[in-house]
Structure 1
Amino acid sequence: MEVEVRHLRALCAIADTGSLHRAARLLGVAQPSLSTQLRRIEQELGGALFFRERTGCRPTPLGRVVVGRARPLVAEMRSLVAEARAAAAVTGPQLRIGSTASRALAGWLRRLRERPQEPLLQMDVSANALLRMVAEGQLDIAFVHEVEGCPLRIPDELRLRVLVEREPQFVSLPADHPAAARPVVRLADLAADRWMLDPTVDGEWDAVHRVLRAAGLSPRILHGDYQTAAFLVASGEVVTVCQPTSPSRPETAVRRLHGDPLGVRLLLAARTEEYLDAVFPALQDAYWETAEQAPAYREWLTAKGAPLPRGAPPTVVRRT
């Protein structure tokens, strides 16, 4: 079982109502069904999330961490659904966008909504799947990341723009981890930790394994999606690879890896140059806006030299 948005919604309802009975009524499900769902979620996350008392339910320490992280995700999903429904009602032209996960998405979509074409978004952890959808005409644009050492299968008919030639990947670890006291973390500092990776992300599993082996490490690696990894990092169970634009939170710390051993290339793909010309500047602005808001990444960029200014000419990938 994987923790899904509906499970997060259920946890928030239990915490808000303080009762399985009232939460079940709010969600429109039977109480026994909600109780069973809660037990499965707790088994998946590895601990009790609520104290069951005669007067109702209250979150355990782990439950407070999970619910605290779940609330903004549930709110964001509600907003996403509302935006999708609004977009579906638009009779004008629509721009079909595919993307892997990125903190720049919100700013990019906000900028694109100011234009005649209403953006519709489809998320996927597989960059290769999104590129195929663009080539087959199911999407107009795809914003994807290519893990270093694991080239994507890019259809010949696609045109590409490079947003960032090499974005370093950072590590997310519990805020009370000894290594979190330093701005730069060595892989050896994480030798005793469990790692969580999503094996469905194209190239990430192979790249991280390769980097860990090169460092002489063979830690225990768990499978899980980004959301599950975030919960378990916050509860002190795992560490995980993350984008440098990821925010630190009270329970977690985002830190640079010494030597920047992991990197990705950020690409925008379309079938025509006209599509790229239309949306690339907005993506470029959104990305650097997000980068400026991420302290660890901003420090890294400063140490390496100023990033490309907004509006700088893009790198065009040409095939020979």
Structure 2
Amino acid sequence: MELEVRHLRALCAIADTGSLHRAARQLGVAQPSLSTQLRRIEQELGGTLFVRTHTGCRPTPLGRLVLSRARPLVAELNSLVTEARAAAVGGRHLRIGSTASRALAGWLRRLRRHCREPTLHMDVSANALLRMVADGQLDVAFVHEVEGCPLRIPPTLRTRVLVEREPQFVSLPADHPAAGRPVVRLSDLARDRWMIDPTVDGEWDAVRRVLRAAGLDPPVLHGDYHTAASLVATGEVVTVCQPTSPSRPETAVRRLHGDPLGVRLLLAARTDTELADVYPDLAEAYREVAQQAPAYREWLERGGSGAPAPALP
């Protein structure tokens, strides 16, 4: 077996995500297939590249050596492909990466008004998106950093904070006893089953920490948040959600007492110029969706915790 670019991409993905499961999801392949590919690469190179544990994968000394040579090669090839494709169509699209946000639609709409034609790459992993910007696969990434779980921001990137701390709310069935109150205590949800997406960088660790601090150890389902929304509607689970999430007839979005869980929203690019070009449109789009969310708008107008009300970004 001879090493190919796809093998180098696989190694970088495993290292960046710290997990065969998340790497396979990022690469669009089945996890068993990626595991087999990794074993073959290790056989070809004559040594173990990653230590597998119940918490994920981490590079061995040999793995770090191989990655130090693989990353520049992958980045250079990505840049070559991107430049060639741009030259072929006679121009260059603005390549945006993002984790989930209701501000995306408004942001893309505003960019088009300014004659910037964007393409969009969505991923639940903020770290994966940041690496794609550093490697030249994306121009800019809009991501969230879960409180207490710092992102691995490549040193070559420039960042700008959109919201220093966005409180995370809770989505619960509309007929839940706590749904009648504007603010919900974690103790009100002590008997509920929670649903968390463990592939969102840092989120499971943060939610587990918050629940334990409240003295709760509820049953937890792991799955994506699209599935969680339907299960909330049927009364099966409750789940954390962004404060801009809309309430629906079958669900209620409520603030958590004390705002125990927060995220930082930030924009990343390779240059300050790229950040300055797209930040104003993103800030305006975020302001728009924040104003459309009554509970979040009220939280902002009250200054979050009783302090003077901050201006929206």
Give the TM-score normalised by the residue count of structure 1.
0.68
**Distance 1:272-1:294 versus aligned 2 partners, 3 A rule:** same
Q: C-alpha distance in 2, partners of 1:171/1:201?
A: 16
Q: Which runs of 4+ in 1 moved over 2 A?
A: 89-93, 305-310
Secondary structure of the 2:302 match is helix
User: Which residue is equivalent to 2:110?
Assistant: 111
* 1-structure distance, mates of 2:156, 2:147: 23
Work out the CA distance in 1 between the residues paired with 2:254 and 2:89. 42
Query: Using a 3 Å threshold, how does the CA distance of structure 1 residues 115 and 208 change in structure 2: closer, same or farther?
Result: same
In the alignment, what sits opposite 1:257?
Answer: 256
CA distance in 2, matches of 1:90, 1:219: 53
2:114 counterpart SS class: coil
How far off its partner does 1:122 sit?
A: 0.3
Percentage of identical aligned residues: 80
Tell me how many residue pairs correspond in the alignment: 223
Over the residues paired in the alignment, what is the CA RMSD in angstroms?
A: 1.5
The alignment partner of 1:113 has SS state of helix
Residue aligning to 1:206: 205
In 2, Cα distance between the equivalents of 1:116 and 1:303?
37
Q: Secondary structure at the match of 2:113?
A: coil
Question: Pairwise mapping of residues 1-320 of structure 1 onto structure 2 (< 5 A)?
Answer: 91-304=90-303, 305-309=308-312
Which letter maps to 1:266? L
Deviations 1:209-254 (A, max 9, x none): 0000000000000011011000000011000000000000000000
Counterpart Cα distance in 1 of 2:202 and 2:311: 26
| Partner AA of 1:306 in structure 2 | A
Q: 1:309 to 1:184 in 2, by over 3 A?
A: closer
Cα distance in 2 for partners of 1:308, 1:282 equals: 16
The one-letter code sitting in structure 2 at the alignment partner of 1:241 is V
Contact kept, 8 Å, 1:169 with 1:244, in 2: the verdict is: yes
Q: Deviations over 1:16-46 (max 9, x none)?
A: xxxxxxxxxxxxxxxxxxxxxxxxxxxxxxx
Distance (whole Å) between structure 2 residues aligned to residue 306 and residue 116 of structure 1 = 35
Deviations 1:186-205 (A, max 9, x none): 00000000000000000000
Are the aligned partners of 1:229 and 1:240 in contact in 2 as well (CA < 8 Å)? yes
1:302 shift after superposition: 1.3
Residues 261-318 of structure 1: CA distance to partner in whole angstroms, max 9, x if unpaired?
00000000000001000000000000011000001101111121433255xxxxxxxx
Structure 2 residue matching 1:282: 3-state secondary structure = helix
The one-letter amino acid of 1:205's match is W
Structure 1 gaps of 5+ residues are 1-88, 311-320
| Superposition deviation, residue 91 in structure 1 | 4.9
How far the C-alpha of 1:92 sits from its partner, in A, is 3.5
CA-to-aligned-CA distance 1:41-79 (integer Å, 9 cap, x gap): xxxxxxxxxxxxxxxxxxxxxxxxxxxxxxxxxxxxxxx
Q: Distance in 1 between matches of 2:176 and 2:302?
A: 25
Give me the whole-angstrom Cα distance separating, in 2, the residues matched to 1:117 and 1:235. Answer: 41
Q: Distance in 1 between matches of 2:278 and 2:89?
A: 19
| Counterpart code for 1:237 | E
Deviation at 1:117, TM superposition (A): 2.5
1:285 and 1:291 map into 2 onto residues whose CA distance is 10
The normalised TM-score by structure 2 is: 0.70
Alpha-carbon distance in 2 for matches of 1:308, 1:175? 31
Deviation at 1:114, TM superposition (A): 1.3
Please give the alpha-carbon distance, in whole angstroms, between the structure 2 residues aligned to 1:112 and 1:133.
21
Q: 1:297 to 1:309 in 2, by over 3 A?
A: closer
Note if contact 1:92-1:117 (Cα within 8 Å) is conserved in structure 2. Answer: no
Measured in 2, the distance between the counterparts of 1:227 and 1:151 equals 25
